[in-house]
Amino acid sequence: MTGATGYIGARLVPRLIERGYHVRAMARTPAKLADAPWRERAEVVQGDLTEPESLTAAFEGCDVIYYLVHSMGTSKDFVAEEEECARNVVTAAKQAGVRRVVYLSGLHPEGVALSRHLESRTLVGDILIDSGVETMVLQAGIVVGSGSASFEMIRHLTDRLPAMTTPKWVHNTIQPISIGDVLHYLTESATAEVPASRTWDIGGPDVMEYGEAMQVYADVAGLRKRVIIVLPFLTPTIASLWVGLVTPIPSGLARPLVESLECDAVMHEHDIDAVIPPPTGGLSSYRDSVIEALRQDRSASHSGRRHLMRFSPAAPQ
């Protein structure tokens, strides 16, 4: 498990352990995992995706590698660093005899110019698919869960601005997916039978405009309907500065996220069910996902635990 300290990885490790898998959690600084609730049930090793020699030992004896790290928000040139990391992972995986790599990427349209963030995610997926090691690339849009950076951007903008001027991307179409459903697909990817290395789109049942997602959140949170005024001339740079001022999301992370909103993020492939059936009870609606995210916050508050927002993605580890 690369990215074991990140938002997705930290939640996926215990699920895999509960399924009976032996999990080796890799971290650049293993001490960061000392307080993880699952620490005593997993093997923790040191490794850094930018240091190829550290990966060979970390991957030795592993059947499946989960690739859940990226450099967005942690590197000045995250595109170049992510490409380097992907090639290092491929080399080490081949040397270690890894059977499968599972990578979480992003939904994006075909045939249009992509943001640096989405273009980098796509490049990493292509490197893994072309590696000769069996690869499953799952492509997801906004992940709805307490602490998810993309969801927290929706939350903070909606909480703090009863009326707002926004870029035109509030009318772009998105297909959110709950954190629980993402973890379902990732867990099943360890053993799912696949015809070949390729991408699979994953998403929840609801397709909506970004602005509509903000209004649904406001309704669930008990807030008045938000007044949204679109200003088409707002550039990604200005919009990211605006997000940085209104929310606690660091500017280094806010700008790539905002740039990615310049295009629709919906499923184009719908054959994931042929490989991984949906969870029992079906996929969670966006409204139900928001309700669950707020319930988790209340539960953490009542138990005396401070909610930790992991706005920084797991750095190369």
Q: Note down the domain range covering 182.
A: 7-302
Cα-Cα-Cα-Cα dihedral of 42, 43, 45, 48, to 10°? -40
Q: Residue 159 falls within a domain, yes or no?
A: yes
Above 70 in pLDDT, residue 130? yes
**Domain assignment of residue 307, yes or no:** no
DSSP designation for 268:
S
**Of 95, 104, 96, the residue nearest 124 (C-alpha):** 104
pTM: 0.91
- Catalogue the long-range contacts made by 292-299 (C-beta closer than 8 Å, 24 or more residues apart): 292/145, 292/178, 292/180, 293/144, 293/145, 293/146, 293/151, 293/179, 294/146, 294/220, 294/221, 296/145, 296/146, 297/146
316 domain-assigned: no
Mean pLDDT of the chain: 89
Question: Nearest 5°: phi and psi at 78?
Answer: -70, -25
pLDDT in tens, 242-276: 777 777 777 677 777 777 888 899 999 999 999 99
User: Distance between CA 47 and CA 70 in Å, rounded?
Assistant: 14
The answer to the question of residue 312 being in a domain is no
Three-class DSSP category at 17 = helix
Distance CA 105, CA 75 (A): 18
Residue 310 lies in a domain: no
68 assigned to some structural domain: yes
Q: Give the total residue count for the chain.
A: 317
In a domain, residue 261? The reply is yes
Q: What is the CATH number of the domain that holds 172?
A: 3.40.50.720
Number of domains in the chain: 1
Residue 17 in domain: yes
Q: How is 125-166 classified by DSSP, letter by letter?
A: HHHHHTTSSEEEEEEE--EESTT-HHHHHHHHHHHH-SEEEE
Query: What pLDDT digit, counting tens, does each position of 68-122 carry?
Result: 987 554 556 778 899 999 999 999 999 999 999 999 999 999 888 888 888 999 9
